[in-house]
Chains A and B, each alone.
Chain A
Amino acid sequence: MPAISNGEPWRLLRAAIYALILAASMKYGATNHPRVTLDLALANPQKYDNMLVDTVVEGRVFSVEQNGIILRSGEHLIPVRGRIESADPGDFISLRALFHKQGWLELKEARVAKGRRGKIVLSALTATVVLCLFVRHYRFDFRRLFFLERRRA
């Protein structure tokens, strides 16, 4: 332990406490958030019948139909009834809609995120570049559990 604690006996305890707080807040966020998401509604259709839900994340247009679209959300394909302008198959889409227990949505509001795919790619590239810069400046000392500057390490 002397090498790991590096003269700071409480350092790893503090780190463990921070990690516990992070884990607890993730759990708290997941179980207490006020949003009614499509996944929630699909898991319990009776409870969320006729309630306003939002497809907050990564919903995509699977196909465009005469009276709406088929939405792909995760593994689910869900009919959405209502007019959506400029939606093409594959587009990312966020929407608010009334959920019906039979498994379809009645559109209230929608927005097609045309540039989202490019945004994800550019963001991933940027994150990679910044993380590479970090690795260029620092290395991790596994014996002492510290990041050390490369020029001083």
Chain B
Amino acid sequence: MPDLVTHTAAAYLVSRPHRRTEFRLFFVLGTLFPDLLSRPIYIMNPGWYPYSIAAHTPFFTLVFALLVSEFFPRRQRSWIRFGFGGGILLHFILDLMQKHLTPEYYLFFPVSWKTFSFGLFWPETLLDWLPLWLAAMALIETAIVVRRRRRM
């Protein structure tokens, strides 16, 4: 996985045009779900790794998003699911860009154990690009503030 700063920055950049702050928040949360649900399991205990395999799949994270959305009022559920789903999709798109020594992403779980990735960069490579993501986010927020002040 790329680091969560990269995932969050990507989710921020993709969802920023949406006016509703809450939608953007759910989009960002959705993009964190696959790693938040799976990584702590084996970071705490590598022996539990097999139990984390399912947790880092689109199927599992989307069902988890459905579960979480049940704990929000009915009128908000559809856009919360949309936000979570978009974030989850973006997460796996970014993950597929990475290369690994061993097969990592079981996209078709539980139907198939086939794996697939584009293998463009190693997981830690994007750490060097963090300043760029942060600068892009700062630039966009600054531009929004400046535009608002001009309107006033």
Q: In the bound complex, how far is the Cα of B87 from the Cα of A42, in angstroms? A: 38
B124 touches A33 (CB 8 A): no
Chain A residues with Cβ below 8 Å from B32 are 126-127, 130
List residues of B (30-78) whose CB comes within 8 Å of A's CBs: 32, 35-36, 39, 42-43, 45-47, 49-51, 53-55, 57, 59-60, 63-64, 66-67, 70-74
- Tell me whether A115 and B59 are in contact in the complex, defined as CB-CB below 8 angstroms, given that A28-B54, A39-B47, A147-B72 are known contacts: no
B43 touches A130 (CB 8 A): no
CB contact between A74 and one of B47, B59, B113, B123 (< 8 Å): that residue:
B47
Q: In the bound complex, how far is the Cα of B100 from the Cα of A133, in angstroms? A: 33
- Give the residue among B51, B57, B101 with the most A Cβ atoms within 10 A: B101
- Chain B: interface residue count, which band? 35 or more
Q: In the bound complex, how far is the Cα of B45 from the Cα of A108, in angstroms? A: 25
CB contact between B50 and one of A29, A113, A124, A149 (< 8 Å): that residue:
A29
CB-nearest residue of chain B to A152: B73
User: Nearest Cβ in chain A — how far from B19, in angstroms?
Assistant: 15
User: Nearest Cβ in chain B — how far from A93, in angstroms?
Assistant: 10
Number of contacting residues on A, CB 8 A?
58
Q: In the bound complex, how far is the Cα of B47 from the Cα of A145, in angstroms? A: 34
- Give the residue among A59, A113, A127, A133 with the most B Cβ atoms within 10 A: A127
Q: Does A65 contact B (CB under 8 A)?
A: no
List residues of B (94-119) whose CB comes within 8 Å of A's CBs: 100-103, 106, 109-110, 113
Name B's A-contacting residues (CB within 8 A).
3-5, 7-8, 21-22, 25, 28-29, 32, 35-36, 39, 42-43, 45-47, 49-51, 53-55, 57, 59-60, 63-64, 66-67, 70-74, 100-103, 106, 109-110, 113, 122-124, 127, 130
Name A's B-contacting residues (CB within 8 A).
6, 8, 11-12, 14-15, 18-19, 21-22, 25-35, 37, 39, 54, 56-59, 73-74, 94-96, 109-111, 113-116, 118-120, 122-124, 126-127, 130, 133-134, 137, 140, 145-149
